[in-house]
Amino acid sequence: MKIFAVTAELELVETTWLAAFRAKYDEPYRPHITLKQPCFIEEHAVPVIKSLFDDFVGTLTISDYQIPVLFDNLVHGEFTIMLDATKHEQLDQLQVGVLQVLSGYRNFVKPKYEGYEADFHPHLTIARNLDEATRKQAVQEMPADYSIKGSIREITLGIADEIA
């Protein structure tokens, strides 16, 4: 059994605060937007998914996916801090295209991922696994202008072995 997901890898405009903030409160994940939530697949499906993905990406022009993104809406959950992206029709269309191509693969790693996929809210997670006190402290350390600009630089299909 394998796990796959599709992400839009981000190139962020450097800010003076973000790198230090993420080093303190986040894990070292590359900045990305998840377009297709993690799903389980059988080993024999890997070449099929790779082919579907490659065919889809082959239809795109650079302007189809090098989309500017502005993360400017602070959202903090129980254990995370995220910056939601301003609505962007082109990004929504990109996600819909990915989902259409991979519509036969819906064995989500976690049940909640199905909802995340259906209710697409592109965001940048900047802190995770926080207890209540640490989350409050982290929010207080954020600058008044916490908006982050960036753009999608590539679309990636990730396939990994299932973690036992």
Residue 127 phi/psi, 5-degree rounding, is: -155, 140
In three-state secondary structure terms, 124 is strand
pLDDT digits (tens, 9 = 90+) for 18-44: 999 999 999 878 999 999 999 999 999
What pLDDT is recorded for position 164? 58
Classify the C-alpha dihedral 121-122-128-133 as positive or negative. negative
What pLDDT is recorded for position 128? 95
pLDDT digits (tens, 9 = 90+) for 69-114: 999 999 988 899 999 999 999 999 999 999 999 999 999 999 999 9
What pLDDT is recorded for position 29? 86
Question: CB–CB of 4/38 below 8 Å?
Answer: yes
pTM for this structure? 0.92
